[in-house]
Amino acid sequence: MTAETNYDTLFGVMAVDSGLCTKQELQKSQKKHKVESQANPILLSDLMVAMGYLTKSQAQRLLTDIKTSKSSAKKIPGYKILGKLGAGAMAVVYKANQISLNRTVAIKLLPKRFSQNPEYVKRFYKEGQAAGKLHHNNIVQAIDVGEAGGYHYFVMEYVDGKTISDDLVDGGVYEEERALDIVIQVARALEHATARKLVHRDVKPKNIMIMADGTVKLADMGLARETTDLETAQDEEGKAYGTPYYIAPEQIRGAIDIDGRADIYGLGATFYHMVTGRVPFMADDSAKIMKKHLRERLVPPDHINASLTAGTSEVIEIMMAKRREDRYANATELLEDLEAIRDGRPPVQARKRFDVSMLEKLEEGDSVQDETDDYDEETIAKYRVAVIALGAFSGVLSLVILLMMLL
Ligand SMILES: Nc1ncnc2c1ncn2[C@@H]1O[C@H](COP(=O)(O)OP(=O)(O)O)[C@@H](O)[C@H]1O
Ligand SMILES: [Mg+2]
């Protein structure tokens, strides 16, 4: 009798897919599970909690997601579920047949908790409609949005290929030329979206797919993100849902006017990971990673991969500037530089920016240095001064009153 049930297998796949544990941790758990469950049957999920790879609440949430999503996916009218394609931080993606046209599609099923927020549901449909107006070879085509059995779903073009993340999790590093080709295709997708006033908000390796013929497709375009997604990431200790390796500083700060420059940061962080084999900022929990996005100076990519051209390194640094005003203003400007590098010319926009920022700093009489002030701390400092001033003032006031009473 085999120890591992289908259920355990699915749980393992999803735990890794959603970033809760590493492949190695899963393998260790599975080995131990095989041995232990011979004596007495135990669920893989319970064992992984016991081994400290998952928290109880993470395991619980994953189990609930698995149990409920499949049965409701089967209830979506007009589609026949063929199997599971993957899972992310907030959803499960299924391969399905669209019965009317007899074609294969991908269906993303959002967890039930999303439906409980009417504001989110409104945005989900609004952005779904906006995504429906996008038509670009480098964007996964939106097909339909709807609700079935209390679940909201998003039907899209099925992409037969792999994600960049699939390559990176195995420690892969991309050749510069290959990475450039991919990033150029994504930048074209972003340019198209910007023209239609759509921001992606979650550009990352898992949302970039590559087909066998080399065509790159940006996935999840126009899929509204829940703001509490970030809060979830902040709440979770250790291995969090949706670890924020690629998120722009202004998104961490909760800015409401997020624009295309946030996507340029996400693409820059992805580019960085592709050519160096490392995420730009690493720490053992989400909060620390986010702090680094806000404050820590980026290690230039050519310091990690010395074979990288100076041009590519500069472009990545500008894409990942902490202040969005210091980044490329839009994907069109970015493309100008990416294509220049591809053709062996120096990046025009990057050089321009570099010159201007150096001049400004010299004029200010500053040494050229990191100046990513965190306004949170600034605000705290101001409060502190105010409190001290108020304290001093009330102290003096009571002294005066005391003196007046004595006289
Ligand atoms: N349109 C699609 N066609 C084929 N596979 C897809 C498609 N969209 C997503 N997937 C697969 O499903 C996985 C999970 O996707 P998703 O839930 O969007 O994760 P994330 O939230 O991390 O982006 C992806 O890593 C990918 O392997
Ligand atoms: Mg995705």
**Are the C-beta atoms of 202 and 123 separated by less than 8 Å?**
no
At residue 351's C-alpha, the angle toward residues 345 and 352, to 5°, is 125
pTM over 0.85: no
Give the distance from CA 154 to its chain's centroid.
Answer: 19
Q: Which atom of ligand 1 is nearest to the CA of 161?
A: 4
Spacing, Cα 374 to ligand 2 middle (Å): 30
To the nearest whole percent, how much of the chain has pLDDT over 70?
80
Q: Please tell me the predicted confidence (pLDDT) of residue 148.
A: 87
Residue 160 annotated among the catalytic residues of the structure: no
Write the pLDDT tens digit of every residue in 119-136.
888 888 888 888 898 999
CB of 279 within 6 A of ligand 1: the answer is no
Q: How far is the CA of 17 from the centre of ligand 1 (A)?
A: 10
Residues in CB range of 368: below 8 A, 6 or more apart: 358, 361, 362
Q: Which domains, and CATH codes, for the chain?
A: 7-157 (3.30.200.20), 161-355 (1.10.510.10)
- CA pseudo-torsion sign 91, 97, 98, 101: positive
* Residue 377 amino acid letter: E
pLDDT for the residue numbered 315: 97
Ranges of residues in the chain whose predicted pLDDT is under 50 = 1-3, 228-229, 231-241, 367-384, 387
The residue from 8, 17, 65, 202 that is catalytic is 202
Atom of ligand 1 nearest to the CA of 209: 26
Q: How far is the CA of 93 from the centre of ligand 1 (A)?
A: 6
- For the CA of 87, the closest atom of ligand 1 is 14
Candidate of 160, 206, 245, 247 to mutate for ligand 1, largest count of ligand atoms within 8 Å of Cβ: 206
pLDDT in tens, 251-285: 999 888 899 999 999 999 999 999 999 999 999 88
Judged by its nearest atom, the ligand closest to the C-alpha of residue 166 is: 1
Amino acid symbol at 366:
D
Compute the distance between CA of residue 209 and CA of residue 248 in angstroms, rounded to an integer: 21
Residue 369's Cβ-side half-sphere holds a number of Cα atoms within 13 Å equal to 6
Tell me which residue has tokens 């089967």: 74
Q: pLDDT at position 393, please?
A: 60
Q: Which of 62, 134, 209, 229 to mutate to test the pocket of ligand 1 (most atoms within 8 A of CB)?
A: 209
Give the position of tokens 């420059």. Answer: 261
User: Which chain residues have CB less than 5 Å from ligand 2, an ion?
Assistant: 207, 219-220
